[in-house]
Amino acid sequence: MAFVTASWNPLGEAFYRKIELYEMGWNLREGLRNCQIAAAPYGGPIALLKEPQRSSPSARPQLEIYTSSGSPMASFMWKSGVVKQLGWTISDDLLCVQEDGTVLVYDLFGSFKRHFSMGNELVQSHVLEAKIFHSPYGTGIAVLSGAYRFILATNIEDIKLRRLPEVPGLQGVPSCWTVLSQDRQTKVLLANGSDLYILDNTACTPVSPSGFSSQATNIIQVAGSFSYKYLALFTDSGHVWMGSANLKEKLCEVDTKMRTPPSQMAWCWRPKSQQPSVVIMWEKYLLVVGPCKDTIQYNLDNESVLVPELDSVRIISGTHHELLQEVPAVSEEIFKIASMAPGALLLEAHKEYEKESQKADEYLREIKEQDRLGDAVKQCVEAAGYEHEPETQKMLLRAASFGKCFLSNFRPEQFVCTCRDLRVLNAVRDYTVGIPLTLQQYKQMTVQVLIDRLVYRKLYPLAIEICRYLKIPEYQGVSRVLKHWACCKVQQKEEADEVIARMVSLKLGETAGISYSDIAARAYECGRTELAIKLLEFEPRSGEQVPLLLKMKRSQLALSKAIESGDTDLVYTVVTYLKNEMNRGDFFMTLRNQPIALSLYRQFCKHQEQDTLKDLFNQDDDHQELGNFYVRASYQEGRLDTRMSCLQNAMDEYNKAKNEFNAKATEEEMRLLRFQRRLEEEKGERMVGCSLQDTLHCLLIVGLHKQAEQLYKDFRVPDKRYWWLKLNALAEKEDWEEMEKFSKTKKSPIGYLPFVDVCMKHHNKYEARKYVSKVTPEQKVKAHIAVGDLEGAADAAIERRNEGEISLVLSHCSATTDRTIVDRLNRTRATAGKK
């Protein structure tokens, strides 16, 4: 396999290879000269700010955005201030740090998103230099002000500006500096001549790298590794110091013999690899330096930039895009010339097999004899993952698949996963997409992030394809992509609301985990309220519709949606909102049209705001309810005169409501209260608050017959009621004489049986008997029984020849003592029966 190793260059123990990723699609007349460039890591987009060719004051620079393969994504004239630094955020937004400290944020397609400032002092002192960096907290910015102070923002999504301490003796721009993220702190490392300082929140600490032999020389270039764990320093004597980021541990020191200051320096160190190395670039010259005497040198055709990655360095020039990386150990084992590693043998075996040569068997046997076929397969699979060329990937995977046939119980996961991952990677590495990720980078960034990035690029079909292919749960996968698509769709101003709403609903349908309210919220943010409302119609959960409707000030609609949902809490939320937003009149009017909300609010008012309740009824001219309200109030009132005035109000309201009955009842209640008060004042009898009946009863009991008589007449108490009352009161007092007199005043409207009953209730048989004779014939039997006179009862019953009455008497008779009566009754019954 000569051609695989052709691009390999040895450095110490390892090999390095440079692979061409793309031939750039852009057409840059001047290459990368005269422009600022920012390329995002993880195969991200590239931004170019081209200085105007004619240096006239009216000429403006051009900002262009490309994919990693150089396909244009956006291009526009830069009309804002002087840009000091370009950079990308972790969510693929472009940051442009201006001289005055303002940072402008654009999306991938060059549309302006927002801006923020790195501090007001920069308007005066200006930004001298700026760096954009990534840390676990997000994307940060560090600027060096004209006063030689560093200002830091760790996360641009949540801006907290930090002004780092002054560096003693710093009179000019430091020769080089970088941002480090260590121990959950963001620090700045800077070199001023030969002095090194670390700046953190509180202090500026001078440091010196351990074992640095060329102390006296100036440090002119510094580079932190991708993980901020390591640091490389370049001195004007051409020495490179490589060591840990805290400078306490030295990895190596190399003399490059180059005295000219390099244009860029970057770490190129694959995680887990034993050999640290740094790539240093001069104008036409690239050097790979490691812990050995040798270096690898490449000549560069034209001006380039280095983009450090997790496991490699990308080199972008005006025409090409290349990847420089250490050859992975496993690839080395397989492809190294004359390698006897099992993977290499398996690859050979498979090649022979394809050629239908029996040598295949020999190779296989050799591996099997060492019992290393499993390892061989694993090696081939792993190596396939490191290859960029699909042909090479296939070759290795086929070999692995071939080897697998001779193994039983070989776990297929690694093979299957690698195939899948490679398929996804090949898809995104494609020229048209232009995301040149390595497997290791892909693993680090995760599928979720990759899908996000595709979504940012509006590559929705590909994103969905990948989600489906990898069987990502809908909620995290397809649904999320569709939601982004819809959010993007609603921003297309040229299309009509109806069209968009229909398209969105058609595509999204009932897909699980889609929140139409989120999409509607986006539409609303873009100022398309009508569209938002249309989209909300598709939202099945009313709870989600209501808050947005409120935000859009569609409170009426929100209210009806809330009511539709049947969730009273939701209704109440809207009601409280309305109460604060609207004036009272409108608020009440709105409620009036929504009975459910109204009753809910009434319930609340009953407990919390009695007066509002009154206002509510007033508004509706609901005099009936107002009357009830005042009656209720009167009973909650302790003082008599307030109570009276409440009742007066109630009466007025009832009159307005044309409820004569209630008006009269309240009027009578007032009269009664007045009467009771007078009585209390005159006679000292406490009866305020009693009902008419109870008042009468009290009066009769204490013997105030005259007053009772007066009440009876004044309130036109029915005769029957009055008789019952008086009868009971007299019996209670056991005033039998008065009772007898009373019975004779006129014919009793309630008959005389109650007299009998009442007397018997008070165990006065003697008195009871007096009234038996007065009882009507129909009740005679009952009266006799009541006083215990069975004889009489029997007589009466027989006289009336009433079957039912005879049975009634019989039921009261006992067979032993009332023999004769029983016989008589039975006889009568018999004769009656005959007739």
Query: How many alpha carbons lie under 13 Å from residue 190 in its C-beta half-sphere?
Result: 26
Taking the complex as a whole, how short is the minimal distance between the CB of residue 760 and other proteins, in angstroms? Answer: 11
Question: Does position 666 bind other proteins by CB under 8 A?
Answer: yes
**Distance of closest approach, residue 8 Cβ to other proteins, in angstroms:** 56
| Binds other proteins by CB under 8 A, chosen from 322, 669, 805, 818 | 669
Contact flags string 645-664 toward other proteins, x per CB under 8 A? ----------------xx--
Judged on CB neighbours under 10 Å (0-12, 13-18, 19+), 121 is middle
Exactly one of 432, 691, 776, 831 binds other proteins (CB under 8 A); that residue is: 691
Residues 6+ apart with CB under 8 A from 616: 588, 591, 598, 601, 602, 605
Q: 567 or 734, CB closer to other proteins?
A: 567
Copy the structure tokens of residue 280.
């240093």
Q: Which is nearer to other proteins, 90 or 785 (CB)?
A: 785
Question: Containing H/E element for 804?
Answer: helix 803-812
320 or 602: CB nearest other proteins: 602
517 near other proteins, rule: CB under 8 A = no
Cα separation, 436 vs 429, in Å, equals 5
User: Measured from the CB of residue 732, what is the shortest distance to other proteins in angstroms?
Assistant: 13
Instruction: Check residue 742 for interaction with other proteins (CB under 8 A).
Output: no
Determine the interface stretch with other proteins among 85-93, 366-374, 547-555, 626-634 (rule: CB under 8 A). Answer: 626-634
DSSP per-residue letters across 718-734: -HHHHHHHHHHHHHHHT
Which of 55, 358, 608, 816 binds other proteins (CB under 8 A)? It is 608
CA dihedral in degrees (658, 664, 666, 667; nearest 10)?
120
Residue 573, interface with other proteins (CB under 8 A)? yes
For residue 415, which amino acid is it? F
Sign of CA dihedral 322, 327, 330, 331: positive
- Total residues binding other proteins (CB under 8 A): 42
Pick from 107, 497, 615, 668 the residue near other proteins by CB under 8 A: 668
3-state secondary structure of 151: strand
Residue number, 120 or 691, with CB nearest to other proteins? 691
Nearest distance from C-beta of residue 606 to other proteins, angstroms = 9
Nearer to other proteins, 493 or 607 (CB): 607
CB closer to other proteins, 455 vs 700: 700
368 versus 721: smaller Cβ distance to other proteins? 721
295 neighbors 288 (Cβ within 8 angstroms) = yes
The 3-state DSSP class for residue 373 equals: helix
Does residue number 596 form part of the binding site for other proteins (CB under 8 A)?
yes
Strands (E), 256-303: 264-267, 278-282, 285-289, 295-299
**Cβ 800 to other proteins, closest distance in Å?**
19
Q: How far is the CB of 706 from other proteins (least distance, A)?
A: 20
Neighbours of 487 (CB within 10 A): 19
Residue 31 has, within 13 A of its CA and on its CB side, a CA count of 14
Q: Residue 431 interacts with other proteins (CB under 8 A)?
A: no
Angle subtended at Cα 709 by Cα 703 and Cα 712, rounded to the nearest 5 degrees: 125
For residue 580, CA distances in Å to 524, 575, 586, 618, 699 come to 22, 9, 11, 20, 55
576 binds other proteins (CB under 8 A): yes
Q: Which is nearer to other proteins, 271 or 718 (CB)?
A: 718
Q: Which residues ranging from 670 to 689 are in contact with other proteins (CB under 8 A)?
A: 672
Q: How far is the CB of 658 from other proteins (least distance, A)?
A: 14
Among 599, 710, 807, 817, binds other proteins (CB under 8 A): 599
Select 208 or 603, whichever has its Cβ closest to other proteins.
603
Least Å distance between CB 39 and other proteins? 46
Q: Does 692 bind other proteins (CB under 8 A)?
A: yes
Which residue in the block uniquely carries the two structure tokens 């420089």? 324
For residues 443 and 463, give the distance between their C-alpha atoms in angstroms, rounded to a whole number.
17
Nearest CB to other proteins, comparing residues 277 and 666: 666
- What is the smallest separation between the CB atom of 101 and other proteins, expressed in angstroms? 38
- Which residues have a Cβ under 8 Å from the Cβ of 776 and sit 6 or more positions away? 751, 752, 753
How many other β-carbons are positioned within 10 Å of the β-carbon of residue 235?
26
Q: How far apart are CB 657 and other proteins at their closest, in Å? A: 11
Q: Residues 595, 703, 777, 804: which binds other proteins (CB under 8 A)?
A: 595
Cα 547 to Cα 566: distance, rounded to the nearest angstrom: 15
Q: According to the binding rule CB under 8 A, does residue 602 interact with other proteins?
A: yes
CB 721 → other proteins: shortest distance, Å? 4
**Which CB sits closer to other proteins, 462 or 631?**
631
Q: Which of 300, 305, 665, 702 binds other proteins (CB under 8 A)?
A: 665
Q: How far apart are CA 232 and CA 280, in angstroms?
A: 10
For the bound state, the minimum distance from the C-beta of residue 535 to other proteins, rounded and expressed in Å, comes to 21
Q: Which of 191-199, 451-459, 615-623, 630-638 is the region at the interface with other proteins (rule: CB under 8 A)? A: 630-638
Give the residue, chosen from 419, 486, 631, 783, that forms a contact with other proteins under the rule CB under 8 A.
Answer: 631
Tokens of 593: 């049209």
Least Å from the CB of residue 612 to other proteins: 13
Q: CA 250, 251, 257, 260 torsion: positive or negative?
A: negative
Q: Which is nearer to other proteins, 599 or 831 (CB)?
A: 599
CB of 569 to other proteins, least distance (A): 4
Please say which residue, 435 or 600, places its beta carbon nearer to other proteins. Answer: 600
Within a 10 A sphere around the Cβ of 202, how many other Cβ atoms? 8
Q: Which residues pair with 286 in a beta bridge?
A: 281, 298
Q: Is 807 in the site for other proteins (CB under 8 A)?
A: no
Report in angstroms how near the CB of residue 518 gets to other proteins at its nearest. 18
Which of these ranges, 60-68, 248-256, 354-362, 690-698, lies near other proteins under the rule CB under 8 A?
A: 690-698
- Interior CA angle at 560 toward 559 and 563, to 5°? 90
568 touches other proteins by CB under 8 A: yes
Q: Which uninterrupted H or E stretch holds 498?
A: helix 497-508
- The reply on whether position 566 binds other proteins by CB under 8 A is yes
Element (H, E) at 112: strand 112-117
The identity of residue 365, as a single letter, is R
At 329 the three-state DSSP class reads helix
Query: C-beta of 444: minimal distance to other proteins in Å?
Result: 35
List the 185-192 sheet strands across, edge first. 176-182, 185-192, 195-199, 204-207
In the three-class reduction of DSSP (H, G, I as helix; E, B as strand; rest coil), residue 98 is classed as strand
Kindly state the smallest distance separating residue 812's Cβ from other proteins, in Å: 12
Round to whole Å and give the CA distance between 516 and 548: 11
Q: Between residues 460 and 629, which has the closer beta carbon with respect to other proteins? A: 629
Decide: 333 and 364 in contact? Cβ < 8 Å.
no
Task: Compute the least distance from the CB of residue 797 to other proteins, in Å.
Answer: 17
CB 617 within 8 A of CB 609: no
Pick the binder of other proteins from 229, 336, 394, 632 (CB under 8 A): 632
Applying the rule CB under 8 A, the residues between 698 and 737 that interact with other proteins are 715, 717-718, 720-721, 724, 728
Q: Can you say whether the dihedral through the CA atoms of 354, 359, 363, 369 is positive or negative?
A: positive
| Residues contributing to the site for other proteins (CB under 8 A) | 566-570, 572-573, 576, 595-596, 599-600, 602-604, 607-608, 624, 628, 631-632, 635-636, 661-662, 665-666, 668-669, 672, 690-693, 715, 717-718, 720-721, 724, 728, 750
